[in-house]
């Protein structure tokens, strides 16, 4: 059987799909082996030690046989000393040697596997995070996560354990069969005419039983879903007096679970009896026949002992192959999936931080020129159609439009997350493509609708805007973002750990942290994706003030949902279904009687008033 793991891998790969092993898949996967290259000397030496320890393992049955024969004064093996004690000491010496070799074999294999796997992990992770946004649009985070964890663990396991085990078992099997023939050709013939069939049958039957127990597990999981659903909706269950109905539903599944388990138990019983009868029967047969050979002086007792032990070796090796083969199949599948990521075209971002520093400064002129765009994943929907507008450095330009009209898409295009199929985006009069990606992204900052904070401290979260920022810089940014006061109010101040995704902070607080982060980044162009969920008026005032501070001296593109906040904008671009329908200042747009802006603006004023009315009536 395959050995337990010796490394840091997880158990998650048990569910991994298997891939076919053929010359093509092996050729593809061989690319991953290049990661072993830096450690090849150790790997080859480890292989040599493995070979050596497997060979020494093969000597033990012979030593035991020689010991038993020596007790009866028989010394048939010319490789061993002709004294009982000398053979014993020789055995121990060999055992010690094997232990020594095995130690280094394991250490070398694990070292090589851990190091090369860390390299693969690092490369895969880096490739993953530099892949274009479109890649992520088509995949689920969980799936990508499992590539980094389960798939790579499977590869790691294969490198450290499975490959070694396959080689070890092959050496042992080939060696044992050869030695069996040397000990007794007749006995070997008898053994080999039965054993492979028995093992093949046991493997197939074992698989069938495993399938049955998986079915039982699935059913059990289904029954747990019933419990979960019922408990989650307990108020509904009670309100409808559906307790009996739910109990019956649960009972029905439980009966099915028992049914499958009982059916499985019968096969399990047959399997156990079969194993006991056939496998042990074979050995009884071998010993029986062997004893007859002893009686006829064809072999002696020691040789029979040797023979039995080699038979066990052969049986165990044969039994371990299906598992090992399945592991290899999983590893090939895992490697192919990892290689798929490694083979993708990433964005031109360097893994070395210093190489990503800004080279060409952008002052802040921004121009959209006839931008037409559809998401690569959805070519049939044109999200933006011939969108044009100009923002001079330092200006505030608001983008307004109904939900789904393409506002956030424009932000993604400015950040070069996607590229338009037609038209150009220009920074300071030059096409965006003529700048390096890092130059653009270093000088454009976004304060998104839904601020995502990392799980670290507030200090780390603000400093994310500028790697290597000093504490003073962070505090100054927080002060300017109206965040210092609430941060200082926490017992741990800037060292407060924000919960996962910043849940411990209110929406307004999270936004002010994002503003402080953007202040530290000090971009030439700022994109504000205004939060749709409204904050209470005090919080809104603080956020608004912080935003005003942030916008000073930079080009600001404000994706606005509340039109009251953009009255002062230098220009308002109104878009509808991906097309610019109006452009101008607030005053100018309000003059356009049939215009969308005026309509949206009035809609918001009316809804605010209707919200206010009941309160006023109460007074």
Site residues for ligand ATP per CB under 6 A = 137, 375, 377-378, 383, 401, 403-409
CB of 328 to ligand ATP, least distance (A): 38
As a whole number of angstroms, the distance between CA 391 and CA 410 comes to 13
As a whole number of angstroms, the distance between CA 194 and CA 278 comes to 9
CB of 421 to ligand ATP, least distance (A): 14
Q: Whose Cβ is closer to ligand ATP: residue 373's or residue 486's?
A: 373
Q: Would you state the structure tokens that stand for residue 546, as one six-digit string?
A: 């912080």
In contact, 67 and 95? CB cutoff 8 Å: no
CB of 379 to ligand ATP, least distance (A): 10
Q: Whose Cβ is closer to ligand ATP: residue 132's or residue 281's?
A: 132
Residues in the chain: 619
CB of 51 to ligand ATP, least distance (A): 53
Q: Whose Cβ is closer to ligand ATP: residue 178's or residue 377's?
A: 377
Which residue is it, tokens 């039965």?
194
Q: Whose Cβ is closer to ligand ATP: residue 332's or residue 413's?
A: 413
CB of 413 to ligand ATP, least distance (A): 10
CB of 398 to ligand ATP, least distance (A): 13
- Say if residue 339 is exposed, middle or buried (CB neighbours under 10 Å; 0-12, 13-18, 19+): middle
CB of 167 to ligand ATP, least distance (A): 48
In DSSP notation, 46-88 reads: HHHHHHHHHHHHHHHHHHHHHHHHHHTT----TTS-SSHHHHH
Q: Whose Cβ is closer to ligand ATP: residue 377's or residue 434's?
A: 377
CB of 120 to ligand ATP, least distance (A): 29
As a whole number of angstroms, the distance between CA 448 and CA 254 comes to 49
As a whole number of angstroms, the distance between CA 127 and CA 121 comes to 10
Phi, then psi, of 162 in degrees rounded to 5? -60, -50
In contact, 284 and 260? CB cutoff 8 Å: no
Q: Would you state the structure tokens that stand for residue 214, as one six-digit string?
A: 């998986």
Q: Whose Cβ is closer to ligand ATP: residue 110's or residue 383's?
A: 383
Q: Whose Cβ is closer to ligand ATP: residue 81's or residue 376's?
A: 376
Q: Would you state the structure tokens that stand for residue 247, as one six-digit string?
A: 């109990």
Torsion of CA 307, 309, 312, 313, to 10 degrees: -100
Q: Whose Cβ is closer to ligand ATP: residue 43's or residue 373's?
A: 373
Which residue is it, tokens 């390096």?
436
In contact, 483 and 509? CB cutoff 8 Å: yes
């Amino acid at each position: 059987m395959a050995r337990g793991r010796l490394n840091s891998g997880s158990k998650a790969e048990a569910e991994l799909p298997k891939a076919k092993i053929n010359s093509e898949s092996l050729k593809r996967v061989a690319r991953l082996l290049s990661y072993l290259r830096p450690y090849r000397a150790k790997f080859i030496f480890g292989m040599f030690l493995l070979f050596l320890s497997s060979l020494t393992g093969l000597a033990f049955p012979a030593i035991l046989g020689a010991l038993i024969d020596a007790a009866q004064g028989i010394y048939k093996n010319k490789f061993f000393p002709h004294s009982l004690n000398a053979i014993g000491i020789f055995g121990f010496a060999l055992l010690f040697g094997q232990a020594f070799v095995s130690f280094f074999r394991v250490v070398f294999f694990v070292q090589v596997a851990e190091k090369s796997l860390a390299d693969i992990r690092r490369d895969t992770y880096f490739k993953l995070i530099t892949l274009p946004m479109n890649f992520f649009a088509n995949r689920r985070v969980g799936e990508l996560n499992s590539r980094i964890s389960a798939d790579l663990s499977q590869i790691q396991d294969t490198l450290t354990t499975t490959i070694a085990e396959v080689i070890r078992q092959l050496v042992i099997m080939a060696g044992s069969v050869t030695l069996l023939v040397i000990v007794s050709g007749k006995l070997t013939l008898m053994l080999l005419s039965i054993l492979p069939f028995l093992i093949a049958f046991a493997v197939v039957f074992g698989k069938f039983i495993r399938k049955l127990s998986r079915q039982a597990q699935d059913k059990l999981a289904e029954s747990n879903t019933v419990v979960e659903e019922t408990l989650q909706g307990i108020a509904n269950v009670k309100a409808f007096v559906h307790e009996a109905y739910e109990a019956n539903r649960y009972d029905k599944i439980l009966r099915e679970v028992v049914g499958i388990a009982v059916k499985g138990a019968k096969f399990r019983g047959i399997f156990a009896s079969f194993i006991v009868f056939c496998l042990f029967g074979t050995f009884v047969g071998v010993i029986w026949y062997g004893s007859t050979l002893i009686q006829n002086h064809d072999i002696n007792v020691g040789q029979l002992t040797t023979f039995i032990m080699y038979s066990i070796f052969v049986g165990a090796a044969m039994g371990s192959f299906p598992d090992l083969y399945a592991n290899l199949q999983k590893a090939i599948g895992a490697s192919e999936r990892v290689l798929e990521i490694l083979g993708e075209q990433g964005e031109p971002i360097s893994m070395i931080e210093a190489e990503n520093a800004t080279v060409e400064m952008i002052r802040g002129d921004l121009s959209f020129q006839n931008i037409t765009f559809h998401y690569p994943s959805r070519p049939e929907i044109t999200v933006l159609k011939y969108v044009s507008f100009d923002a001079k450095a330092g200006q505030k330009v608001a983008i307004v439009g109904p939900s789904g009209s393409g506002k956030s898409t424009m932000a993604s295009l400015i950040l070069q997350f996607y590229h338009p199929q037609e038209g150009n985006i220009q920074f300071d009069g030059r096409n965006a493509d003529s700048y390096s990606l890092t130059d653009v992204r270093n000088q454009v900052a976004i304060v998104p609708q839904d601020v995502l904070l990392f799980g670290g401290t507030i200090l780390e979260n603000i400093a994310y805007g500028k790697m290597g920022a000093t504490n003073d810089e962070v505090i100054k940014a927080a002060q300017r973002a109206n965040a210092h006061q609430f941060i200082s109010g926490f017992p741990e101040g800037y060292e407060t750990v924000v919960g996962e995704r910043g849940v411990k902070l209110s929406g307004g607080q999270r936004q002010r942290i994002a503003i402080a982060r953007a202040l530290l980044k000090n971009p030439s162009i700022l994109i504000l994706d205004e939060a749709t969920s409204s904050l209470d008026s005090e919080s809104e005032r603080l956020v608004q003030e912080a935003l005003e501070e942030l916008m000073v001296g930079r080009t600001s593109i404000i994706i606005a949902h509340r039109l009251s906040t953009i009255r002062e904008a230098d220009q308002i671009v109104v878009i509808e279904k991906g097309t610019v329908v109006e452009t101008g200042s607030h005053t100018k747009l309000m003059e356009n009687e049939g215009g969308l802006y005026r309509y949206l603006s009035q809609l918001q004023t009316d809804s605010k008033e209707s919200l206010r009315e009941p309160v006023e009536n109460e007074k």
